[in-house]
Structure 1
């Protein structure tokens, strides 16, 4: 049997194992695949019914910090109708070994099929005995070589210490410091270096951002944004990073948006990847839609996508689909 029979294809939080010849075995275990901090296995076991198991590879990490997993698992027919059997959503299940998650299929499965696992969250126990912590809650906030200096910068912003410019958002205003803005953005630097109205009036109008998003933007520039704020405002921050030429913020948004692609956001992210020239995000979205067959799950939204998306992007999607069909 070829090695491909045991290989699991993965993207950031999605794993798929194609079972090509289920009649030929009573037990099969996949090769290890990595999601989060752990290497995982899928296994199928046929007795009177078909059992599907998901579990982490035995290691020191698994023993000391076993995953607490939330996920959706499906068995999808590889036939053209792609009928699926879906297990109820698993929430915060501690999984240490191959007996901690076992799914007996009530309905007989025949022919080729795909085991599709979408990880919603992975947590580990808190070292101080508190609530379990999500391993994906750590966002790409800026790192500091001097935490005290960053804390002081943040205090300058939040307490309005010696601010010398006002930023007007769509629904409010906030004070800031020219020197910080100029150091972080060549666009702001240019504004304050020439006799533009922003320099003369000591104001900047950013009417395409709410005050909450604007505060998150400034907190990033000052080095004290919180993960929750970053994740909430990622798309607006991406727009601001592109508009004001802040490459590190753009890259932070890019990397973050790749990490949690799902059926609810994949089409929007694909359009943003094209708009802001984010190759990794575009590739990940196309792979999710085409290679992992999620176009079937978003077909209603895809009709709206076809009406408003860039023509070149639509052409690229169809090229991916055609290439996938040729290789099937």
Structure 2
């Protein structure tokens, strides 16, 4: 059998495999052919029934990001009246192995025929687990490029690739990159642009952050922070965002802190809202304490809060309480 018996001809979205002859009991797999980002195979298995399979080649890409395919597959007789058998359209089926698409062709086929696969769409997730979208949709390549770049930045941090500065937290140290820090923070940029201690010694002391909070801070800067990491360290992150003038991080923390105010955290968040000028959080905490009457359920905690809180903030709280009483 010649090499051409295994070759699949392709255009951008169409694949055709010409079968000249097929023994009664046989298995045949095509050479790999590329459609989209993946290499594919067609396979024939004939016993009493002819089975046609379509599957991506096993690779790291397929394991990590299997294709989600929509396609129409046909069998066309290449002799006589060119009888055509058409499988119902497949829509958004994930294909990872040889058994994910199998077509049992019940009609006997004799002579030469063509297996024709028309790919209507191929979808994939972004490298860092983002939303599923078509690889042929407008903007997909840019999204994929952005996601890959972010993943690479994350590896630079997690694997310590060519770090050139060390950050000392309260209980540990971590390597980072001046260029990345300077690009994300005007405060860091100023440190490295002038003859300051940080530039000379290639170190930054962030003694008011734990190493875990500092890791979360850097993970945000490098674009690969995990949700649970962000949620755990929001107050430390908002402090760092304010200190190093990273406005998007400050706003992200601000919005997140609005979502789960309760009696255990409202006083601490009110203090942070006042300190870091977070008007929406401050208003929400005040409303929770005063309008919903939670301040009267927290007498012990509120008494302790009065001992250390900013006097101006205490005055604002009592002003809100008095205003609420007048409203009854």
Q: Same fold (TM over 0.5)?
A: yes
State the partner residue of 1:109: none
Structure 2 counterpart of 1:327: 327
Tell me which residue corresponds to 1:314: 314
Instruction: Please list the CA deviations of residues 104-163 of structure 1 after superposition, one character each: whole Å capped at 9, or x if unmatched.
Output: xxxxxxxxxxxxxxxxxxxxxxxxxxxxxxxxxxxxxxx998111100000010001111
SS in 1 for 2:167: strand
- Provide Cα deviations, 1:2-54, integer angstroms capped at 9, x if missing partner: xxxxxxxxxxxxxxxxxxxxxxxxxxxxxxxxxxxxxxxxxxxxxxxxxxxxx
| CA distance in structure 2 between the aligned counterparts of 1:242 and 1:187, rounded to whole angstroms | 10
Q: Higher relative contact order at CA 8 Å, sep ≥6: structure 1 or structure 2?
A: 1
- Matched with 1:197 is 197
Q: Look up the match of 1:162.
A: 162
CA positional deviation for 1:209: 1.1
1:301–1:144 Cα change, 3 Å: farther
Question: Quick check: 1:168–1:205 contact (8 Å CA) kept in 2?
Answer: yes
Quote the offset at 1:197 in angstroms. Answer: 1.4
Structure 1 Cα separation of the partners of residues 178 and 243 of structure 2 = 17
Question: Does 1:256 pair with 2:256?
Answer: yes
Q: How many positions carry a matched residue from both structures?
A: 186
Per-residue deviation, residues 54-87 of structure 1 (Å, max 9, x unmatched): xxxxxxxxxxxxxxxxxxxxxxxxxxxxxxxxxx
- 1:295 alignment partner, SS class: helix
Post-superposition shift, 1:304? Answer: 0.8
Q: Tell me the distance in 2 between the aligned counterparts of 1:158 and 1:285.
A: 37
TM-score (norm 1): 0.55
Cα shift readout 1:220-261 (whole Å, capped 9, x = no counterpart): 000000010001111111111111111111111111111100
SS at match of 1:221: helix
Q: How does 1:237-276 map to 2 (within 5 A)?
A: 237-276=237-276
Aligned-pair distance for 1:303?
A: 0.6
Equivalents in 2 of 1:284, 1:188: separation in Å? Answer: 32
- Distance in 1 (alpha carbons) for counterparts of 2:188 and 2:178: 8
Output one character per residue of 1:175-232: Cα deviation in whole Å (capped at 9) or x when no partner.
1000000000000000000111111111111111111111110000000000100011
d(CA) in 2 for partners of 1:305 and 1:207? Answer: 25
Deviation at 1:326, TM superposition (A): 1.1
Segments of 5+ residues of structure 2 without an aligned counterpart are: 1-142
Partner of 1:218: 218
Q: Which residues in structure 2 correspond to 1:131-146 (within 5 Å)?
A: 146=146
Say whether the 8 Å CA contact 1:270–1:282 is kept in structure 2: yes
Give the structure 2 partner of residue 19 of structure 1: none
Aligned to 1:295: 295
- Runs of 4+ with deviation above 3 angstroms: none
**Distance across 1 between alignment mates of 2:276 and 2:165:** 29
CA distance, structure 2, for counterparts of residue 144 and residue 310 of structure 1: 48
How many angstroms apart in 2 are the aligned matches of 1:210 and 1:318?
34
**SS in structure 2 of the partner of residue 162 of structure 1:** coil
TM-score by length of 2: 0.55
Q: Which stretches in structure 1 are left out of the alignment for 5+ residues?
A: 1-142
Deviation at 1:296, TM superposition (A): 1.5
3-state SS of 2:240 partner: helix
Equivalent residue, structure 2, for 1:178:
178
